[in-house]
Amino acid sequence: MHRSIFILFAMLPLGRLLLAQVSGDSPSLPPGIVDGSKTPGLIPDQAAFRLVLLSLAVPPSPDEKALARQDAFLKKIGLSDVDKTTLKNVLVTFAANHSAWQQTLATSVTGGSTEVVAEGWVIVKNTRELLTNKLTTDGNTKLVQYVTLAKLHMRVMP
């Protein structure tokens, strides 16, 4: 028997629910869920970037284990040392902005209004643009390739 662990992201635009499979075999999925292992092109790039950025980010004042985990993932991307440093710096800002957005979302009187939810996507969009401008061409290409391959392990329910 194989167990699967899922990362669940709710409160996405239009009530989308994202599931990213972290480990295990593909379970029997309910109807309507896009299985990235079968149709990765149907997973929106923005959603895939959000999941990857969240998986690469470390908490404020990370311990050695968190940093080692991050370094292991960054090694898989194959970035140069300069691009790794750039990505790590951008991830600190992304994580802080995303955390603040989650607090806003959690305390929102409207319970996740379209405007509040959209702010989360703006954070991802701005982070992607920042990375495009700060990473080398090679680093940006490798990051996009990594995100594209990560889609193979994601599940999205529109």
* Euclidean distance between CA atoms 105 and 9, whole angstroms: 13
Give how many domains the chain has, as a whole number.
1
Residue 114 domain-assigned (yes or no) = yes
Residue 8 domain-assigned (yes or no) = no
Contacts of residue 23, Cβ cutoff 8 Å, sequence gap at least 6: 3, 4, 5
Residue among 64, 71, 68 at smallest CA distance from 85:
71
Q: Residue 107: its pLDDT value, please?
A: 84
* Euclidean distance between CA atoms 142 and 148, whole angstroms: 10
Residue 2 domain-assigned (yes or no) = no
Q: pLDDT digits over 125-149, tens only?
A: 999 999 999 999 999 999 999 999 9
Residue 59 domain-assigned (yes or no) = yes
- The percent helix, strand, coil of the chain (3-state, each to 5) is 60, 10, 25
How does pLDDT run along the chain (158 residues), one tens digit per residue? Answer: 333 334 444 333 333 334 444 434 455 777 888 899 999 999 999 999 999 999 999 999 999 999 999 999 999 999 999 999 999 999 999 999 999 999 988 887 766 678 888 999 999 999 999 999 999 999 999 999 999 999 999 987 76
Residue 90 domain-assigned (yes or no) = yes
Residue 57 domain-assigned (yes or no) = yes
Residue 15 domain-assigned (yes or no) = no
Range of the domain at 61: 44-152
Residue 53 domain-assigned (yes or no) = yes
Q: Determine contact, residues 57/95, Cβ cutoff 8 Å.
A: yes
- b/e code 50-70 from CB counts within 10 Å (16+ = b): bbbbbebbbeeeeeeeeeeeb
What DSSP state is assigned to residue 87?
H
Q: pLDDT digits over 47-62, tens only?
A: 999 999 999 999 999 9
